[in-house]
Amino acid sequence: MEFNDSILSFYRNRTILVTGGAGAIGSNLVRTLAQLVGDKGRIIILDNLSASPIWNVPPLPNVMFVEGDVRNDISLKRVFNEKPSIVYHLAAFFANQNSVDYPEVAAEVDISGLIKVLTYSRFLNVERFVYASSGCAIYGAEAPLPYTEEFMSMHLTTPYQINKMTGEMYCNFFHHNCALPVVKPRFFNSYGPGEVPGQYRNVIPNFIYWAMRGQPLPITGEGRMTRDFTYVGDLVNGLVRGAYTERAIGESFNLASGVEIEILELAKMINEATGNKAGLVFRQRRAWDTKSRLLASIDKASGLIGYKPQCAFEEGLKNTVAWFRENWDRIQEAADFPPGMSSAVRN
């Protein structure tokens, strides 16, 4: 990943806090930021390891890991004592079905935890606060395609979606009333190295896991739903550019691939890539899953921060399968499925 001299100069020698930095997006972001800040800079990770294993934390000399929770003032005092000048807030109660099962906990993490991190950032006068929002969440089921930042909907169907919308509103409050320089990228269907499979995880890591175990891949409905799958490296590129670009302060913008992939086609590609002969199995669609298609416009991000996806889906999928093979033993130990649950899809 290459950046121009202005971006390199902006990040050099900084101390940066990444909440949720052990996760799939967070760990990849941390690796890139660790290179950008150099030997005299430092990246602080705050993560409670509820969604990621400890081995996902990059073992780099300028990375400090703090196991803690965004709801806990002791944890927050510890990391903000390092005086970060940039805060990336990626910590969240992931994801839709998990929030449906545990709505109170989701609100505590996604809303109360966010308010605490915003408050500490305000007291420290950080130069940038980057909030990881979700385009898959906040546009609801009625938005016209492709999703553009101007469309807003209150027809949200899970606590996760509601919390992401609420999070953007709290960021707006701290920006307008406290002059906190917030940036609000909206992610779409992240995938790539770093995400382990599990009951509440995304469709791609789960599909790869089951395919490598020789199991049929479960398709909800007819499998004609589409998603805008975005490679984690492209998201990292957008996050780096978003914090750097002064014009992005106060703005929301989509970070996506701008390409639709059909779930049925995805399953066939993964079976082929892994040599899985078990095929597919069809199941009933979930009640909260009301979106038949997802496709984002990335025009605003392109004009605002110079964002341009670099990784074609086929290449990103190849990289993800390779990561699974390289870490297969650890992934099998970390896979978070309840006893007796052999397969489920979360997308």
The answer to whether residues 181 and 264 belong to one domain is no
pLDDT, position 347? 42
Burial of residue 133 (number of CB atoms within 10 Å: 0-12, 13-18, 19+):
buried
Q: Are residues 15 and 129 in the same domain?
A: yes
The rounded radius of gyration (Å) of the Cα atoms in the chain is 19
339 is a domain residue: no
The answer to whether 209 and 277 are in contact (CB under 8 A) is no
Q: Which sign does the torsion angle of CA 174, 105, 336, 283 carry? A: negative
Assigned token pair, 4: 């121009």
Residue 305 falls within a domain, yes or no? Answer: no
- As averages over each run of 10 residues, the pLDDT of the chain (347 residues) reads 95 98 98 98 97 96 98 98 98 92 97 98 98 93 92 89 97 98 98 95 96 96 93 98 98 98 97 98 78 93 98 98 98 86 48
**134 and 206 inside one domain:** no
Do 122 and 41 lie in one domain? The reply is: yes
Q: What is the per-residue DSSP string for 291-343? A: -S---B--HHHHHHH-------HHHHHHHHHHHHHHTHHHHHHH-B--TT---
What's the CATH number where 214 sits? 3.90.25.10
What DSSP element (H or E) covers 34?
helix 24-37
Instruction: Examine residue 136 and state whether it is found in any structural domain, yes or no.
Output: yes
185 shares a domain with 276: no
Please check whether residue 220 lies inside any domain of the structure. Answer: yes
CA distance 125 to 208: 43
Q: What crossing angle do the helices spanning 203-212 and 313-326 adopt, rounded to 10°?
A: 50
Q: Is residue 208 part of a domain?
A: yes
Q: Are residues 141 and 14 located together in one domain of the fold?
A: yes
| Domain assignment of residue 53, given as a range | 5-190+230-255
Per-residue pLDDT, 288: 62
Residue 17: its H or E element: strand 15-19
**What amino acid occupies position 125?**
N
Question: What one-character DSSP code corresponds to residue 112?
Answer: I
CA dist 108 to 9, 103, 115, 183, 222, Å?
37, 9, 10, 22, 36
Same-domain pairing of 279 and 264: yes
**Are residues 134 and 280 both part of a single domain?**
no
Residue 98 is assigned to a structural domain of this protein: yes
Residues 134 and 283 in one domain: no
Which CATH number fits the domain that encloses residue 124? 3.40.50.720
pLDDT score for 153:
83
Domain membership flag for residue 319: yes
84 and 223 assigned to the same domain? no
> What is the number of structural domains in the chain?
2
Within-domain flag for 345: no
Are 136 and 84 within one domain?
Answer: yes
Q: Are residues 183 and 320 in the same domain?
A: no
